[in-house]
Amino acid sequence: MRMRKLGNSGLFVSELCFGAMTFGGTDGLWGQVGRLEQEDADALVEAALGAGINLFDTANVYANGRSEEILGQCLRNLNVAREDVVIATKAAASMGQGPNRQGTSRRHILGECRASLARLGVDHVDLYQIHAFDPATPIEETLEALDTLVRAGDVRYVGLSNWAAWQIMKAIGIARAHQLAPITSLQAYYTLVGRDVERDIVPLLASEQVGLMVWSPLAGGYLSGKYSGGGTGEGGRQTELDFPPIDRVRGAPLIEVLNTIAEKHGCRPAQIAIAWLLKQPVVSTVIIGAKPTSPRFQ
């Protein structure tokens, strides 16, 4: 497993990141995303560690906090030294009733970081990310709250997720002007069937040396090829949850090309799709998720 710098920081992360969004779901949305409990999660995290992955990504909202709890317990069950892993989590989504239980206000960010630390069972997270843009809160307030967490030692680096290019650049400018903790990374959707980020965001990240963490690199399993040719993709996410949305008319010819290339190289279409992402200079890491029925990492 190759290691890459996360943006312009001195932090090295594995080029594949294990995403824990499938941990702990029961009913509703998170039940559709994944229902992995502790035993299965332990097995998957052990496989990821064995493959050389050192970066693990979750969020406070995943399964209403259960993902963080299960991930933290995995690392303890496997006797993983805290220094050997990079833990990333996020905040911004609603975590309860009322206007102050969501967003990126100073109150919400500081409180949710401490809650995430407790669920994970650690004294700090390596990367704390703002999960979505909050138009109700000044960016200055959000960045100052993140800087407070860094100075307190609760957080090592800060990042963004799912922000527009102008929002990212504004945050970078404010952080520099006020000498706040810099923006190290961005999480964004980027696949062979979803390349919108190449228009504005990729050039911005390259210019400002911000690392890109790619989520849903297989477009919810679509690029594995299991939905093509009339396949139902039984057990796949897209059978229960149409996310991310895909233009299947344009995607079908691409799947054929992926299948041809994969056959030529003796591998799977999914591996080709991820390899393509890893060739993009702005990409620091690609987030992969798995279920017990998924093939082992190769």
pLDDT > 50? residue 106: yes
pLDDT band at 241 (very low <50, low <70, confident <90, very high): low
pLDDT at residue 297, rounded to an integer: 40
User: Helix, strand, or coil here: 69?
Assistant: helix
Residue 63 near residue 90, CB atoms below 8 Å: no
Q: Are 255 and 219 in contact (CB under 8 A)?
A: no
Average pLDDT over residues 236-258: 76
Domain membership of residue 167 (yes or no) is yes
Nearest partner of 235 among 35, 41, 74, judged by Cα:
35
**268 is a domain residue:** no
CA–CA dist 264, 253 (Å, integer): 17
pLDDT in tens, 25-50: 888 888 888 889 999 999 999 999 99
Judged by average pLDDT, the poorest of 72-81, 155-164, 245-254, 267-276 is: 245-254
Tell me if residue 62 is catalytic.
yes
**What pLDDT score was predicted for residue 233?**
52
* Residue 188: pLDDT over 70: yes
pLDDT single digits (tens) 159-178: 999 999 999 999 999 999 99
Domain holding 91: CATH number? 3.20.20.100
Does residue 244 have a cis peptide bond before it, meaning omega lies within 30 degrees of 0? yes
**Phi/psi at 214 (5° precision):** -90, 125
Cis peptide before 295 (omega within 30 of 0): no
Which residues form the domain of 142?
Answer: 3-219+281-288
**pLDDT > 90: what percent of the chain?**
83
219 vs 230, more confident: 219
Residue 97's Cα: distance from chain center in Å? 25
Report CA torsion sign: 144, 147, 149, 151.
negative
* Percent over 70 (pLDDT), the chain: 92
User: What pLDDT shows up at residue 267?
Assistant: 95
Quick one: average pLDDT of 63-75? Answer: 97
How far apart CA 128 and CA 118 sit, in angstroms, is 14
Q: Domain count of the chain? A: 1
Q: Which residues of 91-117 are buried (b: 16+ CB within 10 A; e: fewer)?
A: bbbebeeeeeebbbbeebbbebbeebb
* Residue 154 covered by a domain: yes
Task: Give the per-residue pLDDT at 39.
Answer: 96
Question: What number of residues does the chain have?
Answer: 298
